[in-house]
Amino acid sequence: MTIERMVRRDCHEDRAELLRELFPEAFTDGQLDVGVLRGLVGGDEAGGDNEHYEITWPGKRAARRLGARAPTSTLCQLPGQGVDESATKNMLIVGDNLEVLRLLQKSYAGRVRAIYIDPPYNTGSDLLYKDDFRDPAAVYLEASDQADFSGVLTSNPRSGGRFHTRWLTMIYPRLALARNLLTEDGAIWISIDDNEIASLQLVCDEIFGDENHVATFLWEKRTTRENRKVFSVNHDYVLCYALSKDKFQAARNMLPMTSEVLDRYENPDNDPRGVWQSVSLNAQAGHATKSQFYTITTPGGRKLNPPPGRCWSLTEDRMKALIADNRVWFGARGDNVPRRKVFLDEAREGLTPHTLWTADEVGTNDSAKKTLIKLFDGVETFDTPKPVELVQRILQIGTRPRGEDDDEIVLDFFAGSGTTGEAVMRLNQADGGSRRFILVQLPERTDNPAYPTIAEMTKARLRRAAAALAGPSAQTETTGARPDLGFRVLEEARSNVQRWLPYDGGDVAKLPLLFRSHDGLVAGWTVENLLLEVMLLEGYPLDASRAQCPDFLDNVVYVVEHPRIPARLLVCLDGEIGEGTVDKLAEFEKDIFVCCESALNDALKLRIADALHRVKTL
């Protein structure tokens, strides 16, 4: 075995490796031959007519490259800024969401049940994320030294000439990366208005497949009339796309029964099976069979046939069986048109979600703003929050209260005021769920001295929401267990791992970086932050446990474990690996060992390579 140097891989490399495993014949001298690949999957090797239905815009290729680029930064923890940090599994990440999505690719691929985002609506006054298209090395040199990421926003006026193209270039790579994170039955839900609904749907059709468009929901965002405009726009949209529509539909939940629906259940005939409501027993005759046309004689002696153009919804034999079981209601006098009795116990699954969401059901922009002002003790902090009830509706449909290994993850990478985080907390408290959230918010500057960035507002909102839900009533309404009302704060930061920056014959100032890159680590690294970066590079999630292993006496060795990953991650960041450590590693042959390249001499490399299947160096 050879010892592998840890490197950041981009999506192109991972996909090329997968293709090489599936279709080795399509690679010649290490390069993919697209024509051969097309032939191997049943197409024409020549390619034929390349014209097909798609959405395109200037900059689309660059947008694809942005999504596939390897991350150039990492995450670091900000202790003391969250709530119940030692026990919580909820995360708030402060930074550029495109870079954060890149960082989460290995650790959370196929693990996120529901994604909700409320991106900029592209009204002309919205600020857009200004992604950099320059050389990756230059991007790294610039990004690795900046303290925050507040300089990557730009306005997008209609007069700029690239109104739609800039928005599409912004959203495309983020959606492409988000798709990789969804579970097989997961879905993404996107709030949007008329400005980009058409473009967004075409982009989602391309990324997720038009066959995976689940539904487009209309949300009544306001109930008052806006007289200053030509038309009063009272609705927005929520687009829903699944990784697999069939699997999502099989797993999606019904909505809880409302008091209005429950009021329809009565028991006028004192049926011992309990309260019931009646439903029609006739249907349109267009696709009926001969067995659905017959005469019914009511208990009162009245003879009934289906109305013109209609038929009975059941065959005669099935109808007689229901009548014998007292499951058909003919009215109090026994001579009304028959209706089927549906008992409440049989309808406990709930209500089929509909695509029109009214203000009474899920709130409005105005109600959300008033709720947030109340939460902040009368101070107005955020102009356009979404209602908690709206996100709760999405989570009721798209998540389970408790997932496998208590692993039901909700992601929002346009977190804004933190509505999604509060919705997760409130829903868990209501149904005993163990959902957890990952929120991502750019530290966009504000004019509020109390909350200088939107990320600070997000933190404050989550703290206040947790405090409002805590106390004697913190137990869940269904199980009595205490919900997770905490969160940890992490921040996008420069990588702790030195990068190889080849000299391109240009600026000689780059030469010191070239010679310094063999050192492995950048100056100022800390154990906690470097350990977190190694976890992300190796695909261990942020909530993985990590602790010093007492079995090693010659070195400080940390063990990282997660129930979903069979192998443990052993990390030693000491400047030199001791002989006793090498001997002890033989007991961990199925695990992964990571250390500094400079900590190993040639003899130790050979011994470690013999002891372990997987060894990597920084």
Number of domains in the chain: 4
Give me the sheet containing 557-562, strands edge to edge. Answer: 4-5, 614-617, 592-595, 565-572, 557-562, 545-548
Q: Helix, strand, or coil here: 214? A: strand
Last residue of a domain, one of 331, 347, 363: 347
Confidence band, pLDDT 50/70/90 cuts, at residue 141: very low
| Spatial distance between the Cα atoms of 463 and 232, rounded to a whole number of angstroms | 36
Confidence band, pLDDT 50/70/90 cuts, at residue 406: low
- Could you give phi then psi for residue 266, rounded to 5 degrees? -135, 180
Domain span at 331:
259-347
- Is residue 294 located within the same domain as residue 426? no
Residue 40: CB atoms within 10 A of its CB come to: 14
Q: Above 70 in pLDDT, residue 562?
A: yes
- Going by DSSP bridges, is the β-strand pair 276-280/339-343 parallel, antiparallel, or unpaired? antiparallel
| Spatial distance between the Cα atoms of 334 and 336, rounded to a whole number of angstroms | 6
Name the residue type at position 233. V
The upper half-sphere exposure of residue 521, i.e. CA atoms within 13 Å in the direction of its Cβ, equals: 21
499 part of a folded domain? no
Cα-Cα-Cα-Cα torsion 252, 191, 102, 405, nearest 10 degrees, comes to: -30
User: What value does the mean pLDDT of the chain take?
Assistant: 85
- Is residue 432 located within the same domain as residue 466? yes
- Is residue 24 located within the same domain as residue 93? no
318-376 per-position pLDDT tens digit: 999 999 999 999 999 999 999 999 998 777 667 889 999 999 999 999 999 999 999 99
- Is residue 198 located within the same domain as residue 130? yes
- Is residue 341 located within the same domain as residue 355? no
- Going by DSSP bridges, is the β-strand pair 91-94/296-297 parallel, antiparallel, or unpaired? unpaired
- Is residue 93 located within the same domain as residue 236? yes
Which residues, including other chains, have CB under 8 Å from residue 71's CB and lie 6 or more apart? 8, 99, 102, 103
CB burial of residue 96 (10 Å; 0-12, 13-18, 19+)? buried
Last residue of a domain, one of 494, 525, 560: 494
pLDDT for the residue 152: 53
| Spatial distance between the Cα atoms of 314 and 292, rounded to a whole number of angstroms | 6
Residue found by looking up tokens 């600070």 in the block: 456
- Is residue 546 located within the same domain as residue 529? yes
180 part of a folded domain? yes
93 part of a folded domain? yes
Residue found by looking up tokens 């992300």 in the block: 536
282-291 per-position pLDDT tens digit: 999 888 899 9
| Spatial distance between the Cα atoms of 185 and 244, rounded to a whole number of angstroms | 6
The tokens describing 126, both together, are: 């919205």
- Is residue 290 located within the same domain as residue 314? yes
- Is residue 225 located within the same domain as residue 270? no
pLDDT for the residue 355: 96
pLDDT for the residue 23: 75
| Spatial distance between the Cα atoms of 183 and 114, rounded to a whole number of angstroms | 8
C-alpha of 617 from chain center? 32
